[in-house]
Amino acid sequence: MGGTDYESPNIYKSDVWSSKDGIHWVQQAENLPFGNLEGYKAVVFKNKIWIIGGYSSFLEINEDSKSIWSSSNGIDWNEEKNEAPFGVSSSNFQMAVFNQKLWLMGSNDDVTEIWSSEDGVIWVSHSLGLNSFPSFNQTVIAFNNKLWSLSDSGRSQNEEIWSSSNGVAWEKEVLMEPIEFESSPHGSSIGVIKNTLMIFDNSFSWSSNDGVTWKEERNRDQGRVRVSNWATSVFYQDQLWSIGGNKYDYQNEIWSSSDGINWKQRKEDKSIISRRGFQVSEFNEKLWLSGGYGSEELEYISVSEFHKLNNNDVWSSSDGLNWKLEISDATFGSRFNHKMFS
């Protein structure tokens, strides 16, 4: 669903395609009713896909969409709200499902907003009376009956960890030791693996059982964890997999970890062209990879030839290691930064 390509990088697609086997694709919708949106937030809540915010590629000014859309099948969409009450822009808010509610939290400059909804339609503001809160410029995740936020302090490479037991009152955790990243904190991500809260960036992995006491993890074989920036991650067969991305160029590396701490480079699959911006999803007991952009000869490609980076192939794997090219020229066309649900 959606995405763009280097033929028209400033225009996002608004189509939907489906497949019963991952190989044969049928177009279900050519022009979705919410138009050519990019930068929107998508979340699954109460058996529906919700799309909130974003901005249109056709707008002459960078004006945020205020609409909220939902779909039970990814094809038929209902505009739940034309003008949502949020003041923060799409690029500055995060979303999470917590305590059977959908939460939206964001910051613009010095203004922070917190909203919750039991149905995705009626929203309640919790912003009044806030005395202490994170900037919400990083991932928000549910863990140990709390919401947690990794927040860039803006003053150094030190990260701030915030938590909330109700989504409204936030507390800055006093860390036993500071968390410091070698790379930009905006390249980091948060995940929960086997009841452990993990923070990853391209060089480091940190783990915590309580969100307060953190341990910098090192791979016994590789030294520091070394997983590519902008890699696509997926949990499959009790393993966390990191595929592709880029360090200094586009990568076709495949890494896996059973605990998020000890990573092993499983292989560099020459069959899968180096890429980023692709999607990986589990379907019919296999991993499926589609689209993205990249080239084995990236350094030789000029700006005028960027369209050569587009990919519209589909690959599958039953073990995460060995990949089979199912189709080299899928009917849905070249695209990257799209969404794929199963």
**How far apart are alpha carbons 45 and 48 in whole angstroms?**
5
Please report the DSSP string for 75-127 in residue order. SS-EEEESS-S--S-GGGEEEEEETTEEEEEEEETTEEEEEEESSSSSEEE--
Question: What is the token pair recorded at 205?
Answer: 């992995």
Residues whose CB falls within 8 Å of the CB of residue 144, separated by 6 or more in sequence, listed in order: 197, 210, 211
Give the 3-state secondary structure of residue 163: strand
> Would the pTM count as exceeding 0.85?
no
Q: What is the pLDDT of residue 60?
A: 47
**How far apart are alpha carbons 116 and 85 in whole angstroms?**
11
Listed as ranges, residues in the chain with pLDDT below 70 are: 6-10, 56-63, 90-91, 109-110, 128-138, 151-159, 176-189, 200-204, 218-231, 245-251, 260-261, 267-271, 273, 295-309
Whether 284 and 23 have beta carbons less than 8 Å apart is answered as: no
**How far apart are alpha carbons 188 and 197 in whole angstroms?**
13
Strand partners, 216: 206
| Residue 254 backbone phi and psi in degrees, to 5 | -125, 120
Closest-CA residue to 328 (of 274, 297, 289): 289
**How far apart are alpha carbons 99 and 164 in whole angstroms?**
12
Q: What is the pLDDT of residue 220?
A: 41
Question: What is the token pair recorded at 5?
Answer: 């390509």
| Residue 209 backbone phi and psi in degrees, to 5 | -90, -15
Which H or E run includes 288? strand 286-290
Whether 95 and 104 have beta carbons less than 8 Å apart is answered as: yes
Whether 11 and 4 have beta carbons less than 8 Å apart is answered as: yes
Please report the DSSP string for 44-86 in residue order. EETTEEEEE--EETT-SS-PBP--EEEESSSSS-EEEESS-S-
**In 10 A of CB 31, how many CB atoms?**
11
Closest-CA residue to 175 (of 165, 164, 167, 163): 163
Q: What is the pLDDT of residue 155?
A: 43
